Structure 1
Amino acid sequence: MTDFAHARRTMVDCQIRPNDVTEGRVIDAFLAVPREDFLPADRKALAYADIDIPLGKTSAPRHLIPPMILAKMAQAATILHTDAILDVGAGTGYSSAVLSHLGAKVVALECDDDIAADAKTALAPYGNVSVATGPLERGAAASGPYDVIILEGSVEEIPPDLFHSLREGGRLLAVVGRGRSGRATIFVRVGEDFSGRVAFDAALPPLPGFERKPVFTF
């Protein structure tokens, strides 16, 4: 039988700490959340592997992203304990559970009804997390505005709806790009402007709904 507590500590010590994640609150959050609780029985043995874990047959492929990338994004977002967070593409809710240890409230947004139902069950012990269902690219403005928005997959472009769900000074973290050319980028809202800078290189499976719109040319 897998010793999940030992595997969780090993994940933190061998995947997260060596990749420049030094913020104590972020490390403590990953130590606190049992990742295996957010996977079906046939995938629990993969819970602490450094891979994208598929969540089964869905209308659009969904994954739990590697803990190391999530940890680096959470650290780059400089989350305060008073922050409201939107977790876009939350899957079965692991990332939202981790983020719940860092901010005041988390909205876990998922586009697949079945996965969202699994997330509601898995997140029941986390009192500051709510689950919303709908197109990921539209966000969840009704529960905003947000101090932090994190996208749990790669995107080709970020829709204005998400940017405008940020509070003044709010931060949006996304891996922008396709395949191995992705870059984790942090965008900050200043008035009606959104400045961005690359935080680190990363490759993640794409999130549905964020494909670049084709441009008509003659």
Structure 2
Amino acid sequence: MRGWTLYGALVCALASGGADAATTVIYRCTDPSGAVTFQNGTACPAGHRQERRVVEMASPMPTFVPAPAPPLQAPQVPLISQMPATPEAAAEDDATPEPPPALFACRVYDNSTYWREDDTPPLRCRPMRTVGIGGLPGMGAGQACEQVADVCEAVAEDALCSSWETRVREAEFRWRYAQGRAQDPLRLEYEQLFNTWRNSTCGQAAGAAAGPARPSAP
């Protein structure tokens, strides 16, 4: 009886109606000792009692093919490293380009660096080590900080163009890898710095004559 139950379960698992269904043959084999086995598409061995049944099987599902991803749109704001060289455009402008503003390389107390156009950075609050009960940190120690100023040094004249270009590239990197609402102010910062560099003697010497366009809305 148990063999018939297994046989019925196997047939139900393989059977499936439908116009596109394929067929297969299930063999119920009983050996001389009475043990029952089921074989799919293969006849029973010699000496076994055989029962044969044809069942329908559902056609295999078609392979899922994802829709092709749309091509990535090229950035609308030009990269400083990809600006076209158009020296003839400089001749159309009667105004003589000026050197870029002075630049200062500043170092923060944590040894990070940045650029600015003056040597009077705002004060920062550097955290101080505090101790609490029993001289142990974290035991009601509280928080304290010390007002410190960043150390700024003027960029030499012969390094001004390369430093300005580095500053623009860093601003571009921050903008392009920003997320969400942070993108817009960083984009504006990049455009402002790029235009300052482009309209200076440094930008003219590099052949960057076209201004950046605003990025298209997503």
* TM-score of the aligned structures, taking structure 2 as reference length: 0.21
Q: Which structure carries more strand by proportion?
A: 1
Greater length-normalized contact order (CA 8 Å, ≥ 6 residues apart): 2
Q: Bigger radius of gyration, 1 or 2?
A: 2
